């Protein structure tokens, strides 16, 4: 024995002695073992981990920590320890020289080694300080290990001193006690955390995350979040209580990494493609390499190559998140190994109970070991989950960021392949999928590992009969795989239906006003319900599958145990099933159950994620706009501001070119007008200049920066001021000039909070004219070199248009030195243009100044001659009138209604300042509020009711049966194992086996039953909830839609319904399961060891307190998280609608920042939520470990009176308890947080509703109104009950067949009157009679379906043209065609390949605005009612179309009553009477000729329009 000689000179001190250590009632280790292993172990740990740790520290520098008292103390203790070790070494030398006999080598080697380790530890402490580590885990573990090892020696030394005082060496004893005391101090010091490093970001942060500065112990137990939990327990958490995100989790850190990696991937693929498919047929070009790439891709399309390699998004994700995620694999591995310690200790405990001669300290030793192992295992597991969840969170951030950035550069052709809804889904659903998967993904290797280990231990236990069990398991795998595959196909089908449903909902919400005006709600409700039914059919199939899979995996472990025990017992008479074999096997089977259940789940989750991955990859690889299609770097000297040479453009590569043979040169500073008929490509020309179209040939150059005003104004949901400033800094005087020039001053006075008024989504609370002017003001304020204006004057009244032209666009306007390209239908502006471009079918047919074009007698001259009579305008009119100042567009928002008259004097500024203070008034949209407090019982009751009471009751009963039978079968097993063994065999084993099998069968039936009834119940509930929510939303009045952002509503129909469809049933199922499990385990433990009654109530209380404490914060965090989720999507939605504007202004970076901020804001609530989960799990698993240890401890104490079967039963149940407890709390909080979805869906049933749609007994004659007389008596209405009347005292009588024009400046109440007529807003006073019937007495549908409106903005829904004209299918094809013909669309529709079945894209984007307007006219012609209301319908149409519409209305509606809200007075000059409104009251009402003779306000307007 070399070791014995190393420890003592005469080998008197052996290294190991079993009699001294194990077979004794007072165990102790030998001196030699203490001096070698116990000293070397900590040193070995430190020297092994130091190099890795040093490398880690070098790469992770957090800044420098100044020397603090703590640090000085740590260093001093380390130094002292080092000195003490050297003292021992010197003592050994001294002994050698002075003593009688030389000391053993161990006394030299061990202290030397220990001394060097202490020195290393001291140096590490200093290095950590310089790298900014506030608390170190490596060092803490080292001190702990050293202390534990020293404690064994400490006990041994004291025993030795008591037993054999003569052998004590005083020097070594003294140094050892000092060493031990210093170790205690060192351990204590390393538990504390140092101060923050200098220059750390946390110093500047108002509310930093305490994780960074928390000590190591606090981190592994997640103690650092307790402060927030306490706050959350005292009062519901709010925004301000949340910490800032860690820098590593923020968008600005995470997203660029992924984008960079993805771009690298794409480059790789591109370069390989170019190698393999390089074609010599390159057209010779000398415009740089980009064009070459374009050409190649064209050739590739021609050649139809073999499938090219796709760039791998998966690989990009791996490279980005792999390294951090890899740590989790390490944790998982350790945890998997520790899992099998439990069953081993159980085996030792059962054999200990069987062997009455074993010393009792062994039992306590096993118990302690069990406790320590379960604790360590739970800490490691939670750390693992934490890493996984943080990775998932970063992944989601990165994906959302990447999708957002891509959406800003995607080409219009690609943009058309996916609707807004689908792109938003990429962000919400698919990003979420990845997040869910990442928490499981390690199971792919960990599950097989666990299975292999479990089988190994089982083989040791039962021998070959294990194979029977394995066979059953192997059979289960394909069944589960088939189920998973089927589920996946159903999932895809359901996603498809869901996409369609959300798309339709989105459109309905966007066009809700039109649905209400036309009384089309029911038709669309049926369309949604139809999609929903097909979705539910799929869900039902999935539910049946789910029931089968639940059945397989609940019964699998039992079947496995049954088959194994059967084979074991029947294969050999001598095989006795004793407690050790049975219960250790059961414990191992329980471990097996988890990986086997998880595998199919993980596989299906991976399959889902792969679908998502593909969707994301396709989106991210869409083609982008050609960055070089417009050249902005023109030589400074060139006189041309814009030039197009031989330009050919199309919207997508596959289509024929929209614009052909364009040659334009525009000199700097000139005003260019573009005219042409509807659909002649005027807007496309501007898009080509912006680089939004695909440039097929030619060159485009634009000099300087660009500003763009689209035809349909794009307004953001923020304050009016933000909309105008658009991210520029505030220049007060310039801002005032812009507002003044764009005629917005009067509007600001009337808006409730001036320019601080919040504007709703898509500008709902601004009239069309105001939106257009805000859009124009934004462009002017940004002060660019080139202005592209797409018909900004169409939606404003004539006099306002004139004002804007003079003040902004014209030769004397603010923009007089800029280059302006103005698309216009207003002929009066043409003489002032330097250059006029005439467009016909995508080509510029003529260009030149007004005089030149008039002289050439071409298309332009004809064009003008047609209208010269209509818009005759004298040149002297172009001088701005001094008197017309008051008639500017003093506009009132449609939503807010007119405020009382404000002084329009020099006090304007004061008034504005007063307004600003009252910014709250200007709030409009209500953000999703986070509800607080516990979820009410009523919500659960509502859900139960939705399922059906009987079904709920049956499910509960089946649950109970299953769990009772399960408990009894295990109890039966314990009785079986206690059967006495006679002649090496157990007598009643066939009977025992038969009953055991029968119990198992009963269990299976119960499981299948309850899982089926739950799933069916869930589907019934979700059908009922969706139907009622849809009905409630459609029954809501217009004001509801203006105040609720559509994002919130869509969120309810998408996210919350999804939760109710797929999550809630399964969560409730799991909750019930884990609840019964926990109760069952407690009952068994109490039966086995009644002593536990002392402990369980105490632990139960602790558990309950921790759970309540946790749920209070967790629920609120979850709510905050879901509330902050909507704004991400709302903002994204908004961006998608305004990409062209954002790109034109070059504001992409700002919008990306804003999006990132919103994502971070959302993650700020999500992160503490994850940590709170971990906090809870650590606490609960500790409670679980205590219960296990108590069960074991009391079994050890009472071992004399217990049979091994009962001990085995009790402890194997206790081992499961920890998992069940954690699962129970997780599920109970999941139930609470997810049932909120039901609460949110029910929320709309309590909001205000419109009047009834139909009255039961309708008294109306079918043909009503037969005449069309409208009698308005003292009518007034207000938009909200807290506002003044928007219109008041309107009393007029309109006879049958009269044509009445309604004029007045914007906001005078013109639209309000029509809203009152359709009862979109109910009257506040007075009444309206139609043919003598008071409309307030009618059902809304009866009223709205009998009168017709052609609304201001033409709204289209995606679907066929036919559906857009006649959603109820109540007209024949002939009638539809006739309407199309009269609305002058026949040639257009006949030219389409599918005629009336032509698919309109979302919002009718594949039709021009003019065509949409004509389709609205066709709708009106189809209904052909006695009353027709035209609301500014002529705004976006050129003169020709305008004339068509007017003549159609005159001919087709000559015997109907027509009310026209007019902008262009020439349309109503031949009407019977004109109603002039001013500030909501009647100003004048008479025939046009009389009004002009009166020289009142109508005369002024006519004069402004040049009609007098």
243-294 pLDDT per residue, tens = 888 888 888 889 999 999 999 988 888 887 776 555 444 444 444 344 434 4
* Distance from chain centroid for Cα 922: 28
For 851-890, what is each residue's pLDDT tens digit?
888 888 777 777 776 665 444 433 333 333 333 333 333 3
Of the candidates 330, 366, 373, 328, the residue with the CA atom closest to the CA atom of residue 347? 366
Work out the number of other CB atoms within 10 angstroms of the CB of residue 1079: 14
Q: pLDDT-based confidence at 81, cuts 50/70/90?
A: very high
Beta-ladder partners of 1334: 1329
**Residue 305 clears pLDDT 50, i.e. is over it:** no
Per-residue pLDDT at 1478: 84
Residue 1050: CB partners within 8 Å, gap ≥ 6? 421, 502, 505, 506, 509, 1129
Q: Which two tokens stand for residue 437?
A: 């998967």
- What would the mean pLDDT of 529-546 be, rounded to a whole number? 89
> With 70 as the cut, is the pLDDT of residue 919 above it?
no
Q: Which residue has the higher pLDDT, 189 or 1311?
A: 189
Q: Is the pLDDT of residue 901 over 60?
A: no
The pLDDT assigned to 1481 comes to 86
Q: What is the mean pLDDT of the segment spanning 63-82?
A: 89
Peptide bond before residue 1329 is cis, with ω within 30 degrees of 0: no
The arithmetic mean of pLDDT across residues 972-977, rounded, is 86
Residues 733-749, mean pLDDT to the nearest whole number: 87
Contact between 556 and 476 under an 8 Å Cβ cutoff? The reply is: yes
The string of DSSP letters for 26-87 reads: S----HHHHHTHHHHHHHHHHHHHHHHHHHHHHH-----PPP-HHHHHHHHHHHHHHHHHHH
| Two tokens, residue 473 | 């398991």
Give the DSSP per-residue string, 255-270: HHHHHHHHHHHHHHHH
Kindly report the number of other CB atoms within 10 A of residue 879's CB atom: 8
Rounded to an integer, the average pLDDT of 1193-1219 is 83
Q: What would the mean pLDDT of 422-440 be, rounded to a whole number? A: 83
State yes or no: pLDDT of 809 exceeds 80: yes
Most confident range, picked from 702-716, 858-872, 925-939:
702-716
For residue 514, pLDDT beyond 60: yes
Residue 1276 clears pLDDT 70, i.e. is over it: yes
Q: What mean pLDDT is reported for the chain? A: 82
Mean pLDDT of 576-601: 80
What per-residue confidence (pLDDT) applies to 298?
Answer: 43
Residue written as token pair 């609304």: 1351
Q: Which two tokens stand for residue 31?
A: 């001196």
How distant is the alpha carbon of residue 549 from its chain centre? 30
d(CA 281, CA 290): 16
Summarize pLDDT for 1454-1488 with one digit per residue, the tens. Answer: 888 888 888 777 778 888 888 888 888 888 888 88
Cα separation values, 977 from 161, 465, 998, 1211, 1229, Å: 49, 17, 18, 15, 39
- pLDDT band per the 50, 70, 90 thresholds, residue 180: very high
Cα 784 from Cα 665, distance rounded (Å): 19
Give the pTM: 0.76
pLDDT at 146: 93
Name which residue leads in pLDDT, 1395 or 277: 1395
Q: So what's the pLDDT on residue 371?
A: 92
3-state secondary structure of 1462: coil
pLDDT of 1094 reads: 81
pLDDT at 612 over 60: yes
Task: Express each pLDDT in 1225-1244 by its tens digit.
Answer: 778 877 877 888 888 888 88
| % of the chain exceeding 90 in pLDDT | 10
pLDDT at 1244: 82
Span 1081-1096, average pLDDT: 82
pLDDT beyond 70 at 1319 = yes
Which has the minimum average pLDDT: 276-290, 504-518, 689-703? 276-290
Query: Average pLDDT for residues 424-447, to the nearest whole number?
Result: 84
- pLDDT value, residue 324: 85
Which pLDDT score is estimated for 82? 92
Is pLDDT of 650 > 90?
A: no
Res. 182: pLDDT tops 90: yes
Range with lowest mean pLDDT among 56-65, 384-393, 412-421 = 412-421
Confidence of residue 928 (pLDDT cuts 50, 70, 90): low
Q: What is the pLDDT of residue 1432?
A: 67
Q: What is the pLDDT of residue 914?
A: 40
Least trusted range by pLDDT, from 553-562, 967-976, 1007-1016: 553-562
- 1199: tokens are 């071992």
Rounded Cα distance between 884 and 898, Å, is 21
pLDDT value, residue 1453: 84
- CA pair distance 372, 378, nearest whole angstrom: 10
Provide, rounded to the nearest whole percent, the portion of the chain with pLDDT above 70: 91
């Amino acid at each position: 024995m070399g070791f014995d000689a190393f420890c003592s000179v005469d080998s008197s001190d052996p290294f190991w002695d079993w009699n001294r250590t194990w077979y004794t009632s007072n165990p102790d280790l030998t001196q030699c073992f203490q001096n070698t292993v116990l000293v070397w172990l900590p040193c070995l740990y430190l020297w092994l981990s130091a190099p890795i740790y040093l490398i880690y520290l070098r790469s992770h520098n957090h800044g420098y920590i100044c020397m603090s008292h703590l640090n000085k103390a740590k260093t001093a203790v380390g130094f002292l320890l080092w000195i003490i070790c050297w003292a021992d070494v010197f003592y050994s030398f001294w002994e050698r020289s002075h003593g009688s006999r030389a000391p053993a080598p161990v006394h030299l080697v061990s202290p030397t080694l220990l001394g060097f380790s202490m020195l290393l530890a001291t140096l590490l402490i200093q290095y950590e300080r310089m790298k900014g580590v506030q608390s170190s885990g490596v060092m803490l573990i080292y001190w702990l290990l050293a202390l534990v090892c020293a404690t064994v020696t400490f006990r041994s030394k004291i025993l030795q001193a008591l037993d054999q005082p003569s052998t004590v060496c005083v020097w070594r004893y003294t140094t050892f006690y000092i060493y031990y005391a210093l170790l205690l101090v060192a351990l204590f010091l390393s538990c504390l955390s140092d101060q923050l490093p200098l220059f750390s970001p946390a110093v500047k942060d108002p509310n930093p995350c305490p994780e960074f500065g928390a000590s190591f112990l606090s981190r592994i137990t997640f103690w650092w979040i307790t402060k927030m939990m306490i706050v959350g327990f005292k009062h519901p958490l709010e925004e301000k209580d949340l910490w800032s995100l860690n820098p590593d989790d923020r968008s600005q850190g995470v997203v660029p990494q992924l984008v960079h990696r993805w771009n690298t991937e794409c480059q790789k693929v591109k370069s390989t493609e170019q190698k393999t498919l390089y074609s010599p047929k390159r057209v010779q070009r000398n415009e740089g390499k980009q064009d070459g790439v374009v050409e190649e891709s064209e050739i590739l399309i021609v050649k139809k190559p073999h499938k090219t390699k796709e760039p791998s998004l998966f690989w990009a994700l791996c490279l980005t998140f792999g390294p951090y995620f890899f740590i989790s694999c390490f944790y998982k591995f350790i945890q998997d190994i520790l899992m099998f310690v439990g069953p081993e200790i159980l085996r030792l405990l059962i054999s200990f109970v069987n062997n009455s001669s074993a010393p009792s300290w062994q039992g306590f030793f096993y118990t302690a070991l069990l406790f320590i192992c379960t604790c360590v295992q739970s800490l490691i597991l939670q750390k693992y989950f934490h890493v996984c969840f943080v990775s998932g969170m970063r992944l989601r951030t990165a994906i959302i960021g990447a999708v957002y950035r891509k959406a800003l550069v995607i080409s219009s052709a690609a943009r058309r392949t996916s609707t807004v809804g689908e792109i938003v889904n990429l962000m919400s659903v698919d990003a979420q999928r990845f997040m869910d998967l990442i928490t499981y993904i390690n199971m792919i290797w960990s599950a097989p590992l666990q299975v292999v280990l479990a089988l190994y231990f089982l083989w040791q236990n039962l021998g070959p009969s294990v194979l029977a069990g394995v066979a059953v398991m192997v059979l289960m795998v394909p069944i589960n795989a088939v189920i998973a595959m089927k589920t996946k196909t159903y999932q895809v089908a359901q996603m498809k239906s869901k996409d369609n449903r959300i798309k339709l909902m989105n459109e309905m919400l966007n066009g809700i006003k039109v649905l209400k005006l036309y009384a089309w709600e029911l038709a669309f409700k049926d369309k949604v319900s139809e999609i929903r039914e097909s979705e539910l059919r799929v869900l039902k199939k999935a539910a049946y599958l789910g029931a089968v899979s639940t059945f397989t995996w609940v019964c699998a472990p039992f079947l496995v145990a049954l088959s194994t025990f059967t084979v074991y017992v029947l294969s050999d008479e001598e095989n006795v099933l004793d407690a050790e074999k049975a219960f250790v096997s059961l414990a191992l089977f329980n471990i097996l159950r988890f990986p086997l259940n998880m595998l199919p789940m993980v596989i299906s989750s991976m399959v889902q994620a792969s679908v998502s991955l593909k969707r994301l990859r396709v989106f991210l690889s869409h083609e982008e706009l050609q960055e070089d299609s417009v050249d902005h770097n023109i030589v400074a000297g060139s006189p041309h501001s814009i030039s197009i040479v031989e330009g050919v453009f199309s919207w997508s590569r596959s289509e024929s070119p929209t614009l052909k043979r364009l040659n334009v040169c525009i000199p700097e500073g000139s005003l260019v007008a573009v005219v042409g008929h509807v659909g002649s490509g005027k807007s496309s020309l501007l898009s080509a200049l912006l680089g939004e179209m695909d440039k097929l040939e030619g060159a485009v150059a634009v000099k300087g920066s660009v500003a763009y005003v689209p035809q349909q104004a794009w307004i953001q949901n923020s304050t009016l001021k933000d909309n105008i400033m658009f991210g520029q800094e505030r220049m007060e005087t310039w801002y005032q000039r812009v507002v003044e020039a764009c005629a917005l001053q009067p509007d600001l006075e009337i808006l409730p909070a001036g320019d601080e008024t919040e504007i709703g989504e898509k500008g709902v609370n601004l009239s069309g004219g105001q939106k257009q002017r805000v859009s124009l003001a934004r462009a002017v304020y940004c002060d660019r070199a080139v202005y592209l204006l797409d018909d900004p004057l169409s939606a404003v009244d004539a006099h306002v248009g004139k004002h804007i032209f003079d003040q902004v666009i014209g030769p004397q306007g603010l923009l007089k030195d800029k280059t302006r390209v103005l698309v216009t239908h207003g002929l009066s502006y043409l003489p002032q243009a330097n250059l006029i471009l005439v467009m016909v079918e995508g080509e510029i047919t003529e260009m030149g100044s007004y005089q030149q074009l008039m002289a050439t007698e071409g298309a332009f001259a004809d064009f003008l001659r047609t209208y010269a009579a209509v818009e005759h305008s004298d040149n002297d009119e172009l001088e701005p009138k001094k008197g017309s100042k008051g008639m500017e567009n003093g506009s009132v928002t449609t939503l807010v209604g007119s405020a009382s008259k404000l002084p329009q004097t020099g006090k304007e500024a004061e008034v504005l300042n007063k307004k600003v203070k009252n910014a709250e008034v200007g709030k409009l949209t209500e953000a999703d509020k986070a509800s607080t407090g516990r979820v009410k019982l009523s919500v659960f009751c509502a859900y139960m009711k939705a399922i059906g009471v009987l079904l709920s009751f049956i499910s509960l009963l089946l649950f109970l049966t299953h769990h009772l039978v399960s408990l009894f079968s295990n109890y039966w097993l314990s009785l079986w194992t206690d059967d006495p063994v006679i002649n090496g065999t157990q007598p009643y084993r066939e009977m025992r086996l038969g009953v055991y099998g029968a119990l198992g069968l009963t269990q299976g039936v119960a499981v299948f039953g309850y899982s089926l009834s739950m799933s069916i119940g869930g589907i019934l509930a979700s059908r009922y909830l969706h139907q009622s929510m849809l009905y409630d939303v459609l029954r809501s009045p217009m004001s509801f839609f203006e105040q609720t952002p559509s994002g919130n509503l869509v969120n309810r129909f998408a996210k919350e319904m999804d939760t109710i469809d797929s999550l809630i049933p399964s969560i409730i199922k799991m909750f019930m399961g884990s609840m019964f499990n926990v109760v069952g385990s407690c009952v068994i433990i109490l039966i086995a060891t009644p002593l536990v009654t002392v402990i369980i109530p105490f632990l139960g209380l602790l558990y309950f307190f921790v759970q309540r404490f946790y749920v209070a914060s967790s629920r609120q965090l979850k709510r905050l998280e879901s509330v902050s989720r909507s704004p991400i999507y709302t903002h994204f939605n908004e961006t998608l609608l305004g990409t062209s504007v954002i790109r034109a202004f070059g504001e992409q970076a700002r919008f990306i920042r804003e999006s990132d901020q919103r994502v971070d804001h959302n993650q700020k609530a999500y992160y503490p939520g994850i940590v709170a989960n971990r906090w809870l799990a650590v606490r609960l698993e500790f409670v679980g470990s205590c219960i296990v240890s108590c069960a074991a401890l009391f079994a050890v104490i009472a071992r004399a009176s217990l049979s091994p079967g009962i001990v085995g039963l009790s402890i194997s149940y206790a081992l499961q308890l920890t998992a069940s407890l954690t699962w129970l709390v997780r599920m109970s909080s999941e139930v609470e947080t997810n049932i909120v979805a039901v609460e949110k869906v029910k929320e709309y049933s309590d909001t205000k509703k419109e009047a009834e749609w139909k009255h039961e007994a309708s008294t109306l004659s079918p043909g009503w109104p037969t005449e069309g007389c409208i009698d308005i008596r003292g009518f007034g209405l207000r938009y909200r009950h807290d506002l003044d009347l928007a219109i008041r005292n309107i009393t007029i009588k309109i006879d049958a067949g009269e044509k009445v024009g309604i004029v007045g400046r914007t906001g005078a109440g013109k639209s309000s009157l029509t809203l009152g007529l359709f009862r979109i807003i109910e009257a506040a006073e007075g009444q309206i009679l139609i043919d003598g019937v008071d409309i307030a007495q009618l059902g809304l549908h009866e009223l709205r379906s009998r009168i017709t409106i052609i609304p201001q903005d033409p709204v289209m829904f995606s679907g066929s043209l036919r559906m857009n004209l006649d959603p109820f299918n109540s007209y024949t094809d002939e009638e539809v065609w006739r309407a199309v013909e009269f609305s002058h669309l026949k040639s257009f529709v006949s030219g389409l390949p599918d005629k009336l079945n032509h698919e309109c894209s979302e919002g009718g984007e594949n039709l021009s605005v003019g065509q949409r307007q004509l389709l609205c006219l066709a709708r009106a012609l189809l209904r052909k009612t006695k009353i027709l209301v035209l609301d500014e319908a002529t705004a976006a149409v050129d003169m020709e179309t305008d004339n068509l519409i007017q003549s159609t209305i005159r001919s087709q509606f000559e015997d109907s009553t027509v009310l026209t809200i007019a902008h262009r007075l020439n349309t109503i000059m031949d009407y019977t009477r004109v109603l002039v409104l001013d500030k909501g009251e009647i100003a004048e009402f008479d025939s046009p000729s009389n009004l002009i003779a009166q020289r009142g306000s109508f005369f002024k307007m006519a004069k402004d329009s040049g009609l007098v």
